[in-house]
Structure 1
Amino acid sequence: MKEQNHFERLGVGADTNGPAVRIAYFKLAKLYHPDTIPPGAPPEMEKLKADIFAYIGEAHRTLADEKSRAAYIEELKSGGNKEAEVDVVAILKSEELFRKAGVYLKGRKFAEAVKLLDEAIQLNDQEAEFYAWRGYARFFTFEDKKAGFNEAYKDIQLCLKKNDKVAAGHYFLGVIAKLCGDMSGALKHFQKTVELQPNHIEAQRELRMAAQKK
């Protein structure tokens, strides 16, 4: 896998679109995520799965976004298939911090979540979704909703600039808009969320609730 290009790593063709790339990635991630290692497995298996997970993660980040995928295809055509070394340890550590931040968010420990997401971004600043979650957490650290919105918006827009297909970014904008009294804007973001991720339960619920009120 180390010698393969990103398309080969995910087992997709160069004409594959973003949603198909994500599907291929999630299938592989279920198999190779380090958390899937059985108890008592040898250290060699742990390292192998960590390496593979890092490689498919890098492939997903590059190919899921249309602009970066097009640029990568041009790079391959020009013979520039020289993969940058993937920092496996940093990527795995950032993912672990991201998961912990999610737990803190559910527990409404927003400042703690922001701190963990800051650390995750320092380790892996190419993961667009980290910025969306940090922006969402930041919103709740402000008593002034307007100030909170401005800070959250910066981060979430940074996420969507890196990858506008991140459903969480659109959903968080919807929640924040709703909390700020902009129901029309909120519904647009919830609708966009469902377009990107049809099985997004929370966004579906928000749209149903809004329809029932009409």
Structure 2
Amino acid sequence: LYKRQSEPPRPDEARLAQQLEQRFADVQAKRDHFYVLGVSQDASRDQVKTAFLNLAKIFHPDRLPPSLPHMAPKITAVFEAIREAYEVLYDDTRRKTYQQNLQAQQTLPKPPASAPTAPVLRPQGRADSNADDLYKMGEVFFRKRDFTTASDHYDRAHALEPKPLYLAARAWAIYMDPARKADMAKAKQMMADAVRADPNCDRAHYQLGVIARVEGDMDRAERCFREAVRANPKHLEANQELRLIDMRRKNPPKKGGFFR
């Protein structure tokens, strides 16, 4: 028997691919959290939660059809943006700070396009404080999806003080960068190195769990998330992942149901 020619995507799969491309473009454009969730700035916590759950039903990585494996990195980036928006906007304190930062950015005057960029001068101090500053700046750039600049800051922090945390952060910036798909294996190895150097590096455990989930290895994903929680019982994202795994175990989704 001859194998049938590969069939074009079903209408619903083609529609999901189109939605993913648009959502990924929004991620690249660094849209704000309210835009990402599709809620107003005065939305209630219940409205934020409902918006998140509705989007999760569409853009959770588990929803990616087998016919679209090449879009796995994009759906991961999209869902991480959706989840980050939910976590910030659902927390009243974090939302208030975020809104203040948005307003500050809108009121800052933009320099002329021809104006030279002045170097950022940092006060000289202990190496570890400078490394921590670089790490925190890396986190800011990562949240803006500027993975290249984030990776550079994490790398400089690690050069000043070789903490496994900084290594894990740099690895995640590399893994999440669509332009560095060829370096994904290298990024995973860096995370494994971080865990080997510090078994209590909750960030590395969590990141390895996300990768395992994306790759469809739920047993390995669960082990990694549990290690993250063991190292840091308050790790919000790892606890969320474990609750989702437990929920799916108690209520196995039917074909065509939630999260396929």
Give the TM-score taking structure 1 as reference length: 0.54
Q: 2:225 aligns with which of 169, 190, 212?
A: 190
Output the amino acid matched with 1:135: A
Q: Which digits, 9 at most, give the CA deviation of each residue in 1:107-128, with x for residues without a partner?
A: 2221111111111112112x12
* Structure 2 residues not aligned, in runs of 5+: 1-123, 250-260
Pairs aligned (count): 126
Output the amino acid matched with 1:129: L
- 1:144 CA drift (Å): 7.3
Q: Does 1:180 align with 2:215?
A: yes
Q: 1:156 aligns with which of 183, 191, 200?
A: 191
* Structure 1 residues not aligned, in runs of 5+: 1-86
Q: 1:199 aligns with which of 228, 234, 242?
A: 234
- 1:176 CA drift (Å): 1.7
SS in 2 for 1:173: helix
Change (3 A) 1:112 1:179: farther
Checking the alignment, whether the CA contact within 8 Å between 2:211 and 2:221 is kept in structure 1 is yes
Q: 1:135 aligns with which of 171, 178, 190?
A: 171
For residue 153 of structure 2, what is the aligned residue in structure 1?
116
User: For the residues of structure 2 that align with 1:107 and 1:178, how far apart are their CA atoms?
Assistant: 24
SS in 2 for 1:96: helix
Greater Rg by CA: 2
For residue 93 of structure 1, what is the aligned residue in structure 2?
130
Q: Which digits, 9 at most, give the CA deviation of each residue in 1:184-212, with x for residues without a partner?
A: 22111001111121111111110111111
Checking the alignment, whether the CA contact within 8 Å between 2:174 and 2:180 is kept in structure 1 is no
Q: Does 1:106 align with 2:143?
A: yes
Checking the alignment, whether the CA contact within 8 Å between 1:128 and 1:163 is kept in structure 2 is yes
User: For the residues of structure 1 that align with 2:193 and 2:178, how far apart are their CA atoms?
Assistant: 20
Q: Percent identity?
A: 28
User: For the residues of structure 2 that align with 1:151 and 1:140, how far apart are their CA atoms?
Assistant: 12
Q: Does 1:167 align with 2:202?
A: yes
Checking the alignment, whether the CA contact within 8 Å between 1:141 and 1:148 is kept in structure 2 is no
Q: Which digits, 9 at most, give the CA deviation of each residue in 1:10-62, with x for residues without a partner?
A: xxxxxxxxxxxxxxxxxxxxxxxxxxxxxxxxxxxxxxxxxxxxxxxxxxxxx
SS in 1 for 2:138: helix
User: For the residues of structure 2 that align with 1:196 and 1:213, how far apart are their CA atoms?
Assistant: 24
